[in-house]
Amino acid sequence: MLATLSAEAEALLPGLVSLRRAIHAEPEIGLSNPRTTAKIREALAGLPLHFREGPSTTGLVATLQGSANGRTVLLRGDTDALPMNEDTGLDFASGTPGAMHACGHDSHVAMLVGAARLLCARRDQLPGTVQFMFQPGEEGHHGARFMLDDGLLDPLPDAAFALHIMPNAPHGLICGKPGPLLASADKIRITVTGRGGHASMPHDALDPVPIACEIVGAIQAYVTRQVSVFDPAVVTIAKIEAGSTDNVIPETAFMLGTIRTLSPRTRASVQIGLEKLAKGIAAAHGASADVRFEQGFPVTVCDSRAAAFGQATATELLGVDAWRSLENPIMGAEDFAYVLEKVPGAMFFLGASEDGTDWTQCCGLHSNRMVIDEAVMARGAAFHAALAQKFLVEGFGG
C-alpha cells in the first residue's frame, strides 16, 4: 500500500524546496500569516480540496474527501516564524528584519503540501477523510487553540499527527515516544518592591536587587528538593531588570522566567510553591513580591496507540533503521498539545541535519544560524501521507 510513496515524494521535492524557500524569505510572526497562507493556497490550487478559515487567525484547513465516508485523520503543519534576525547567509534568507524561520515551520508547510499532493493523487484509495491543518501562531501565540475555538476542526477527527524537523538529529531519522513528549510552558513574572535610595547609604533604603538574586538561587534549590525527578520541572529565570544608574538603589527589581513541567499535577504544584517562596523571601527582608503566571501550552501527550502506529508506519515505509524511540521527553513545548488534548494522536521528529555531516555539531532549533538539509522534506511528505493512508485503512488496530 505504501510501496511507491517515497518515490512519488522524491519526484515532488523540487517544488517543495521552492515553496519552502519562498516562505523562508518572507517570514511572518504570530496569528496572522497572510502571505504564507496565500502561498499555501497557490501550492494547493487545482487539487480536490475544500478550504475552511476562521475569524481569529489566518489558519487554513484543507479537507480531502476520499472514496468512502470512513475515518477522518488530521495532519498538522505550523506556518509562523520567530521574532529574531537571521544570520545564515542563505541566498533565500529572511528579507524581513526581526523575523526568521528558525524553527523549521517553512519546511513543515512544504512537507504538508507534499502530503496533500500525494494523497490527492490517491484519492480513490482513501476510505475516509484527510484534514490538512496549516496553523499560524505556534510560537507562543496559541494558534491551535484559536483554530479549535473557531470550529475549524469540527467535527473532530479520529486521529491527529504532526511532524517537526530537528536540525541537530541524524539525517532522515524519525523519532517519537508514547506519553509526555514535550513539556507545558508557562511564564513567571516576579516584581520585588523595596524602598529606593542612595547607593552609598543602603542602610537607609531597602534594596530589592539582592532579594531578587536570593529568590533566583532559592528557585534552583526548590526545584531540586521539592520536585520529584520522576515528574520533573525546569524553572529558568532568564531576565532580571532593575535600576537606572550606578548610584541609585531602585525601588523595584523585576524577574521573568519560564516553567516547564510534564504533568498537570507538577505544573500546578510548582506554581503554588514558587509564589510562596518568592513572597516569603521578600517578606523576610521587609519587602514584598508580586508573583504572576501566564499560562502557556499544556503538556504534549502522545497516545500510546498513535505512537506505536507511527513507529509501525515509519518502519514499513522506510525500514527499521529509520525509526528511533526516544527514551525521555523534550522540555520544549508545542501548541499541538491543544489538539492532542481532544484527539488521540502523536507528534514525531524528523532529523534534518545535512546528510553525511556530524549532526551533533549542527545548530539547533531557534538558532540564528539554523539550516536544514532540504532533501529530508521528501521523506517527511511521504511519512505524513503514509500515516494518513494507513490510518484510514487500518485505524490504530493495524
pLDDT digits (tens, 9 = 90+) for 273-310: 999 999 999 999 999 999 999 999 999 999 999 999 99
What is residue 2's predicted lDDT score, i.e. its pLDDT?
A: 84
What is residue 149's predicted lDDT score, i.e. its pLDDT?
A: 98
CATH number, domain with residue 290: 3.30.70.360
Decide: 207 and 249 in contact? Cβ < 8 Å: yes
Question: Per-residue pLDDT tens for 354-363?
Answer: 988 888 888 8
Dihedral sign (CA 148, 153, 154, 159): negative
Q: Within this chain, do residues 148 and 32 fall inside the same structural domain, yes or no?
A: yes
What is residue 355's predicted lDDT score, i.e. its pLDDT?
A: 87
Question: Per-residue pLDDT tens for 40-96?
Answer: 999 999 999 999 999 999 999 999 999 999 999 999 999 999 999 999 999 999 999
Distances (CA, A) of 36 to 28, 54, 105, 185, 393: 7, 16, 11, 26, 32
Q: Within this chain, do residues 342 and 389 fall inside the same structural domain, yes or no?
A: yes
What is residue 371's predicted lDDT score, i.e. its pLDDT?
A: 95
Mean pLDDT computed over every residue of the chain: 96
Q: Within this chain, do residues 18 and 98 fall inside the same structural domain, yes or no?
A: yes
Asked if the model's pLDDT at residue 1 lies above 80, the reply is no
Q: Within this chain, do residues 159 and 42 fall inside the same structural domain, yes or no?
A: yes
Of 269, 294, 319, which marks where a domain is finished? 294
Strands 159-166 and 345-351: parallel
Q: Within this chain, do residues 356 and 368 fall inside the same structural domain, yes or no?
A: yes
Q: Within this chain, do residues 126 and 262 fall inside the same structural domain, yes or no?
A: no
Dihedral sign (CA 383, 27, 182, 73): negative
The CA distance from 103 to 338, in Å, is 19
Q: Which residue in 212, 209, 266, 265 sits closest to 234, CA to CA?
A: 266
What is residue 398's predicted lDDT score, i.e. its pLDDT?
A: 55
Q: Which domain holds residue 387?
A: 5-182+299-397
Return the number of other C-beta atoms located less than 10 Å from residue 133's C-beta: 26
Strand partners, 188: 257, 293
Asked if the model's pLDDT at residue 218 lies above 70, the reply is yes
Question: Per-residue pLDDT tens for 381-398?
Answer: 999 999 999 999 999 975
**What percent of the chain lies above the pLDDT cut of 70?**
99
Question: Per-residue pLDDT tens for 163-178?
Answer: 999 999 999 999 999 9
Of 294, 309, 328, which marks where a domain is finished? 294
Question: Per-residue pLDDT tens for 230-245?
Answer: 999 999 999 999 999 9
Q: Within this chain, do residues 29 and 120 fall inside the same structural domain, yes or no?
A: yes
Of 261, 294, 327, which marks where a domain is finished? 294
The CA distance from 381 to 146, in Å, is 26
Q: Within this chain, do residues 97 and 168 fall inside the same structural domain, yes or no?
A: yes
Decide: 233 and 227 in contact? Cβ < 8 Å: yes
Domain count, the chain: 2
Q: Within this chain, do residues 171 and 314 fall inside the same structural domain, yes or no?
A: yes
